[in-house]
Chain A
């Protein structure tokens, strides 16, 4: 078995899992205030992600750690070449985390509104920048024989910005779907309407993204050669349509699960498009970092496969258990006891 190829799949799944999980936290973070009026409603918005966001963010830490262990050259390249973008993502994630933790610690209105604004701005920036970063991955970076030749301004190209907006729209939709069944009636009702409206923007951006990917990137080549891969964008399309139908039929819980699958299929479509590269080069395919020239040794990959096969299913089991444990929204007595809100 070629473990480098196995690890490409793990790598893709870990990032997809991160986007689908933290996607709704980030979406709630930057768009939740649109569905909430007054302190009581805003509290229920933040409480809805309270028990989960921290565990979701570890998917990012794991995706990062797995990149380090399985594709060290990719880890080094991705993080040092995109240095300013990564620094901004870090600042955003730190600000997002502390704003969720600090918001409820002092009862003054000015304190709360300061951290709510911080949560909104930082969550939006994180979502946008992840989109920009992965848009550049899908598009290919200016990698030459001696490494990276691009600039930070070059990362803000139209295609990457379009991907960034698509991420934001997807997380907005995803976050509002979450609020539609995890908050009390007035918030949930507003969130349902917002999700319904956001869906059209999401669809438009998704179509634009598909067209731009076809016209300006090499993303489609793999799908034309290996036709069975088309199942991924097909499932993405089906998820988008199904999410809207379920939402219209008044079932936001299932719509959320379908949108979760949609984000996973979206990420997997992108990764399938760049395979066997992890960091493709726009200048010459030779210079891209791929599963052949950037993977760890077979020994390390085998070890990491065993570790992942043991631990990741366990992690998924207890995280599912936690989602079931907090299925019903937190009551006000519980929030008081938590001392968090």
Chain B
């Protein structure tokens, strides 16, 4: 493999690994802050137990999210030097702002929360977790505004042989970035909700601290249901957004080859594994694809045949990732809806099978969020910045394949070991249950 292929692989490995930890942080921070606030307001020790239990899991997970994030920042310069030079004038700003406006806040106040139990009032201590939760979500905003610019570059001109920023407000209000932000953050909240439900289900199945774990299950279920609905709503808007701004990506997501108005949606589609076109296209719902893409039955949907093969994203991974993600999203609404209903009826323990399903559902939202990023990033190919710079043009010229082989091998081994240890620690502390 050449430096380009290796660098892409390394970016995928390190970004996907990083994104095993970040999304849980996005949601579990809010839940922990909520539990602690209930404790502060009521003085009820049970809320404190919940705070400490979920806070500890938050921290074990948080540690890996922080340390693996630096890799992504460094890597842009290490492996993608030409990219960094060409777009740094625009793209660097949101990254630097993220560090100053959000990352400092979260990294400083997490220390306050962990060590500050006896050094401040209860209210101030709870406030520290609210700050951490807010700051982690703000981090996501700046990172996704940067990514949104790669998807739909705005507010720049080509000058001095590079992209230069001329309108920061355009970058700040880029709808692509905001849709990615809400979709990602809500998906992270779904992960947190399912994580809390799954771990609580494990304890409920063992009749362990049932009163406490029913509480956390309920909070997780309500949070997950609300977030699943929100993520689906934003997902719908994101589809329209992709159809408008990145027609090749949208065509790959749906494996549409012919451009036509009033396009039907084939419920059963299997893209050809050998090249162009679909092997199977059946169960067509008239006008449905046009409706989905533009909320109008007669709208024209562009097909992949309208793009030169060199300008098309890889169809198979984008298509299957997208369909699987959407199906999982529907499943999350059903599962969390059932959870809210059973919890409100007080009948969770009457359905051990449901609890077991919820335990084994913990990985599903993780899978969905990774698939979503495959759609977003592979769907953008062959572009690094859509329509402006190709991925192949962005790779570092001085870095040799041997160097990337070594670093990629190092990351793979090192991350596997760290992931295994962190998973083991998480399950150890999750199974331990709550203190007093």
Contact = CB atoms under 8 A, between A and B. Distances in A.
A77 B120 CA distance: 46
Interface in A177-216: none
Given A80-B77, A80-B399, A93-B70, A50 B96 contact: no
A62 B104 contact: yes
Contacts of A304: 93, 96
Given A98-B63, A297-B164, A300-B90, A91 B74 contact: no
A234 B71 CA distance: 37
Interface string B73-90: 110111101101101111
Contacts of A326: 115-116, 119
B398 A325 contact: no
B351 interface: no
B81 A76 contact: yes
Interface in B96-144: 96-101, 103-105, 107-112, 114-120
Q: Secondary structure at chain A's binding surface: helix, strand, loop or mixed?
A: helix
Contacts of A228: none
A277 B37 CA distance: 52
Interface size bucket, A side? 35 or more
B52 A68 contact: no
A337 B56 CA distance: 11
A319 B106 CA distance: 11
Contacts of B79: 80
A60 interface: yes
B421 interface: yes
Contacts of B82: 76
B398 A81 contact: yes
Interface stretch (A51-59, A218-226, A251-259): A51-59
Contacts of A68: 73, 76-77, 84, 88, 91-92, 95-96
A64 interface: yes
B280 interface: no
B78 A94 contact: no
A30 to B, nearest CB: 17
B396 interface: yes
Contact of B89 (A54, A62, A148, A296): A296
B100 A91 contact: no
Nearest to B83: A76
A84 B108 CA distance: 30
Contact of A84 (B74, B109, B119, B403): B403
B422 to A, nearest CB: 8
Contact of B63 (A87, A102, A307): A102
Given A62-B100, A311-B104, 14 more contacts: A50-B114, A50-B115, A54-B108, A68-B76, A70-B96, A75-B77, A76-B81, A83-B396, A101-B63, A297-B165, A303-B93, A303-B165, A315-B100, A338-B115
13 contacts: A65-B96, A66-B96, A68-B76, A69-B95, A69-B96, A83-B398, A84-B407, A87-B406, A102-B63, A296-B165, A304-B96, A307-B97, A338-B114
Q: Which 6 A-B pairs rank lowest in CB-CB distance, beginning with the nearest? A: A72-B88, A79-B77, A69-B92, A65-B96, A68-B92, A76-B81
